[in-house]
Chains A and B, each alone.
Chain A
Amino acid sequence: MPLTFKSDIVRLRYLSFVFSLLLVTLSAAFYGLKNFNYGIDFKGGIMIEVRSKNPIPLATVRSYLSKLNIGDVTVQEFGSANDLLIKFEQPENGLEGKDLVVKKISDTFKDQFEIRRTETVGPKQGKELIQNGILAILYGLLAILVYIWFRFEWQFGLCAVIALLENALVVFGYYSIFQVEFNTTAIVAVLTTIGYTINDTVVIYDRIRENLRKYKRKPIPDLINLSINETLSRTLMTSGTTLVALFSLYFFGGEVIASYSLPIIVGVIIGTYSSIFIAGPLLLNFNLRLLQKEEDTP
């Protein structure tokens, strides 16, 4: 049962461009309104994961904690009702304050809770992590631009990066819209998505380049359409297996791995869309025949 599609993706381009623009605008708007829900990696702060023998109502824990007078505390369930994630911002006396708070908590809940994990990040470290994360993404886009420019032509590089940028912005938008905790995982998700999408895009561009040599007289829109369609079954097949793997991670990999895989799932879906509907059709805005002629003259 081979996937054979003959869809006129190029003709749909205005629709897909508008759709993408909408997604990006929506992402930006939500970022403007709600910003990110920064995790302690970036904001600095303390996180404690505890497991209780019996489910304890969140409200009980919250009211206990509020009596400790340790500032703003977030308590949430982590996977099951027996696992809780307790988070609070940096106490005023910095990292040393953490031990005090952990002690207070373990004293209060001595018999109920087993502390499974604690993380403390200073605010300075957090800023650096954000900076490095953003740098990594920017360098990633730049390196990809240069690589594709080198292997193909600058027009290809530019279109690929535009599609990737859309891809990255929408994944960031996902974090903002759903207020999913934004931490180093987010950077991993975005970079993995970019890496995955560029893989898809290059396969399509590779075919376009090949077809440019093969069909000298075919109108460019038809040529791009043909190339996308020829690679479509591969694109969907690979996205399929990747998503299958990611979903098994999401459902069976435990809470922490699930938090890694969900954004990547979103990213792979968006990425597959943008490599098909954006990266290819965008090339129409450049005169590819010109490139073809250049290639012909030795």
Chain B
Amino acid sequence: MNRLKSKALGVTLSLTRLFFVIGLSVYSILTTLPSLLSPETLNKYWPSFLPQAKISLGLDLQGGSSLLLEADVETVIQERVRNLKNEVRKVLRQHKIRYRDLEAKEEKVVFQLRDASQKEKTFKALRKLGLDFSVQLNIDQIEIRFTSAALQEQEKVVLDQSIEVVRRRIDEMGTKEPLIQRQGTNRILLQLPGVNSPDDAKRLLGKTAKLTFHAVKPTEGLGTIRLNQKITHNGQTMDIPHILDQDPLITGDMVIDAKPYLNQERNEWQVSLSMDQTGARIYADFTKANVGKPVAIVLDNKVITAPIINEPIPTGNSVISGQFTPKSSHELAMLLRAGSLPAPLKILEERTVGPDLGADSIAAGKTATLVAIIAVFAYMLLYYGFNYGGVACVALFFNLTLLIAGLTLLGATLTLPGIAGIALTLGMAVDANVLIFERIREELNHTKRVAASIQSGFSRAISTIVDSNLTTLIGAGLLYQFGTGPVRGFAVTLTMGILISMFTAITLTKTLLIIVYKWKGPQPLSFDMKEVK
């Protein structure tokens, strides 16, 4: 105590500290203002060397649509397993291994050996399939499956590709600043600011746009599939059942460009395609060998057209016709340019907020925050008096500016619950000050020496502040971890609010207390204490 007394804190306000606090406060105000001012005022009066960034608003505040999409990874895996079955069959035949009951079962391919003595040989042969597969003997059945690492890799690839395709398709729509984000292992969060009706986006994303060209065979045979649609050609329905070759000639990934195109002669909208070198070569060879026969163009498992080949096509250019409207031909061309989705996308969640509601919410949020801050100011001034209450109010004010500045600098998104988080932390932010003041009051009751009381009350309160706030941070962290969308916005502002209130309590409040002490001399903390030294 003696040490504290002699080192009366009136003299210990270092200039570095003062400048740091002032500098930070000014900076936080300058960073906060752009978000509060209207764009016009900002353009006219705000100097360009000052911070320009505005706080980014969530969809619930600026209006727009948010879609949560799920990629059907399962289907892709199953397709891969079916391909694996074909590979296995090839390998077994190559090595003259006799088998029966070869089947693709969900995530694995199984078969039985006719001759148990070929076991070793089989394992050795199957190992050549690659490292992505594990081969196991289960009783007398051999199981080949993707390793879990390979499955995860597949999932990741499918989602990466999906995100890429979604991005290209959405870009084509001309949406400003869409947000496309991976969520978990098989989900994509798509946010479209300013889009009030996500119908266009949904229609575009609802199509896998898997384009394939197939040879059409007259008879059914091995390796053929029968598509249920009848082939239409030049508007006429051909009623002979057609069998499409299962293996496509040309796939969508060989298409390098697609354009909508108005065929003047027939006065109908079409889509013209150009293929890459591989595609062009395959198509040239095929058309040369099959003049007079149809080729089926299949989009998402539907035959959309099956023109008869009139002459060999060496250039790799082709035309799709199929009763298109101008809009649908544009859309198909766009989808083909953007590439096909590796897996169908399902919409799990859709939220749309109109711009008016967003603006209303911001206005209401601003009012509420303003009322909250004024009410808390009044409360603190009334309870702690002008000196200490004033300190709390200044600290609280900078708490708010630091919070908004922090959110702006981090690029965090402010949501409606985020505004609730701000107002709530304003209420809680004074807690650090309250803890400090209450401690000082207790110390004053013992010593009546203000300088010493401030010093010791302050340092005693700090450990309590840290302990009590860290536990609240745990809660906020969990909200962030498990919450989605708006809940996360709430968690972010709450976390930042707590951190900043701890920070201001330690730096700002202390500096202010010293300033008040130097300026006005020792002050009592409550009205019933008149005598202090």
* Residue positions of A touching B, CB distance < 8 A: 1-2, 49, 51, 95, 98-99, 114-122, 124-125, 129, 132-133, 135-136, 139-140, 143-144, 147-148, 151, 184-185, 187-188, 191-192, 194-196, 198-200, 202-203, 206-207, 230-231, 233-234, 237-238, 240-249, 251-254, 256-257, 260-261, 264
Find out whether the CB atom of B350 lies under 8 angstroms from the CB atom of A249. no
Which residues of A sit under 8 angstroms from B170, Cβ to Cβ? none
Q: How many Å lie between the Cα of A115 and that of B63 in the bound state?
A: 12
What 11 new A-B contacts, CB under 8 Å, besides A136-B478, A249-B372, A252-B364?
A114-B354, A136-B481, A144-B474, A147-B471, A199-B472, A206-B463, A241-B380, A245-B372, A245-B423, A246-B427, A254-B361
Find out whether the CB atom of B468 lies under 8 angstroms from the CB atom of A206. yes
Which residues of B sit under 8 angstroms from A248, Cβ to Cβ? 368-369, 371-372, 375, 423
Find out whether the CB atom of A116 lies under 8 angstroms from the CB atom of B427. no
Which residues of A sit under 8 angstroms from B483, Cβ to Cβ? 132, 136, 184, 187-188
Which residues of B sit under 8 angstroms from A247, Cβ to Cβ? 375
Which residues of A sit under 8 angstroms from B151, Cβ to Cβ? none
A210 nearest CB across to chain B (Å): 8
Partner of B427, one of A95, A151, A191, A243: A243
Find out whether the CB atom of A125 lies under 8 angstroms from the CB atom of B68. yes
Q: How many Å lie between the Cα of A140 and that of B483 in the bound state?
A: 13
Check if B424 is an interface residue, CB within 8 A of chain A. yes
Check if B484 is an interface residue, CB within 8 A of chain A. yes
Check if B434 is an interface residue, CB within 8 A of chain A. yes
B5 nearest CB across to chain A (Å): 21
Known contacts A199-B431, A241-B376, A245-B376; is A120 also within 8 Å of B474 by CB? Answer: no
Which of the 9-residue segments B160-168, B403-411, B486-494 touches chain A? B486-494
Looking at A120, A187, A195, A206, the one whose CB has the most chain B CB atoms below 10 A away is A195
Closest 8 CB pairs of A and B: A245-B427, A195-B475, A254-B364, A242-B427, A253-B368, A136-B482, A248-B371, A248-B372
Q: Mark B423-447, 1 if CB is under 8 A from A, else 0.
A: 1101110110011001001100000
Find out whether the CB atom of A257 lies under 8 angstroms from the CB atom of B428. no
Find out whether the CB atom of B479 lies under 8 angstroms from the CB atom of A191. yes
Partner of A237, one of B347, B424, B438: B438
Name the residue on B nearest A47 (C-beta): B351
* Residue positions of B touching A, CB distance < 8 A: 60, 68, 199, 202, 347-354, 356-357, 360-361, 364-365, 367-369, 371-372, 375-376, 379-380, 383, 416-417, 419-420, 423-424, 426-428, 430-431, 434-435, 438, 441-442, 463-464, 467-472, 474-476, 478-479, 481-484, 486-487, 490, 494, 526-528
Name the residue on A nearest B184 (C-beta): A128
Find out whether the CB atom of B348 lies under 8 angstroms from the CB atom of A124. yes
Q: How many Å lie between the Cα of A206 and that of B428 in the bound state?
A: 18
**Interface of B (DSSP majority class):** helix
Partner of B350, one of A116, A118, A148: A118
A144 nearest CB across to chain B (Å): 6
Find out whether the CB atom of B478 lies under 8 angstroms from the CB atom of A143. yes
B189 nearest CB across to chain A (Å): 12
Which residues of A sit under 8 angstroms from B202, Cβ to Cβ? 99
A230 nearest CB across to chain B (Å): 7
Which residues of A sit under 8 angstroms from B417, Cβ to Cβ? 185, 188, 257, 260
Find out whether the CB atom of B487 lies under 8 angstroms from the CB atom of A184. yes
Looking at B357, B380, B441, the one whose CB has the most chain A CB atoms below 10 A away is B357
Find out whether the CB atom of B371 lies under 8 angstroms from the CB atom of A252. yes
Which residues of B sit under 8 angstroms from A116, Cβ to Cβ? 353-354, 356-357
Which residues of B sit under 8 angstroms from A199, Cβ to Cβ? 428, 431, 468-469, 471-472
Find out whether the CB atom of A195 lies under 8 angstroms from the CB atom of B482. no
Which residues of A sit under 8 angstroms from B484, Cβ to Cβ? 129, 132, 184
Find out whether the CB atom of B478 lies under 8 angstroms from the CB atom of A256. no
Find out whether the CB atom of B424 lies under 8 angstroms from the CB atom of A242. yes
A252 nearest CB across to chain B (Å): 4
Partner of B357, one of A49, A98, A195, A251: A49
Find out whether the CB atom of B428 lies under 8 angstroms from the CB atom of A242. yes
Find out whether the CB atom of B424 lies under 8 angstroms from the CB atom of A245. yes
Known contacts A136-B482, A257-B368; is A234 also within 8 Å of B438 by CB? Answer: yes
Known contacts A122-B347, A122-B349, A139-B478; is A203 also within 8 Å of B526 by CB? Answer: no
Find out whether the CB atom of A194 lies under 8 angstroms from the CB atom of B357. no
Name the residue on A nearest B356 (C-beta): A116
Q: How many Å lie between the Cα of A251 and that of B202 in the bound state?
A: 38
Query: Please, could you name 12 A-B residue pairs with CB atoms under 8 Å apart, sorted by A?
Result: A49-B357, A95-B348, A188-B479, A202-B467, A202-B468, A202-B471, A203-B464, A234-B431, A244-B372, A246-B427, A252-B368, A253-B368
Which residues of B sit under 8 angstroms from A251, Cβ to Cβ? 368, 371
Find out whether the CB atom of A95 lies under 8 angstroms from the CB atom of B347. yes
Q: How many Å lie between the Cα of A12 and that of B171 in the bound state?
A: 66
Find out whether the CB atom of A249 lies under 8 angstroms from the CB atom of B420. yes
Find out whether the CB atom of A206 lies under 8 angstroms from the CB atom of B475. no
Which residues of B sit under 8 angstroms from A243, Cβ to Cβ? 427
Name the residue on A nearest B480 (C-beta): A136
Known contacts A147-B471, A184-B483; is A2 also within 8 Å of B431 by CB? Answer: no
Find out whether the CB atom of B430 lies under 8 angstroms from the CB atom of A241. yes
Partner of A120, one of B351, B383, B416, B442: B351
A171 nearest CB across to chain B (Å): 13
Known contacts A122-B349, A249-B372, A254-B361; is A198 also within 8 Å of B475 by CB? Answer: yes
Which residues of B sit under 8 angstroms from A143, Cβ to Cβ? 474, 478
Looking at B383, B435, B470, B472, the one whose CB has the most chain A CB atoms below 10 A away is B472
Looking at B202, B426, B487, the one whose CB has the most chain A CB atoms below 10 A away is B487
Q: How many Å lie between the Cα of A148 and that of B468 in the bound state?
A: 10
B87 nearest CB across to chain A (Å): 34
Find out whether the CB atom of A1 lies under 8 angstroms from the CB atom of B434. no
Which residues of B sit under 8 angstroms from A245, Cβ to Cβ? 372, 375-376, 423-424, 426-428
Find out whether the CB atom of A238 lies under 8 angstroms from the CB atom of B467. no
Find out whether the CB atom of A119 lies under 8 angstroms from the CB atom of B350. yes
Name the residue on A nearest B431 (C-beta): A238
Which residues of B sit under 8 angstroms from A118, Cβ to Cβ? 350-352
Q: How many Å lie between the Cα of A129 and that of B354 in the bound state?
A: 24
Q: How many Å lie between the Cα of A120 and that of B463 in the bound state?
A: 46
Q: How many Å lie between the Cα of A23 and that of B368 in the bound state?
A: 32
B460 nearest CB across to chain A (Å): 8
A181 nearest CB across to chain B (Å): 15
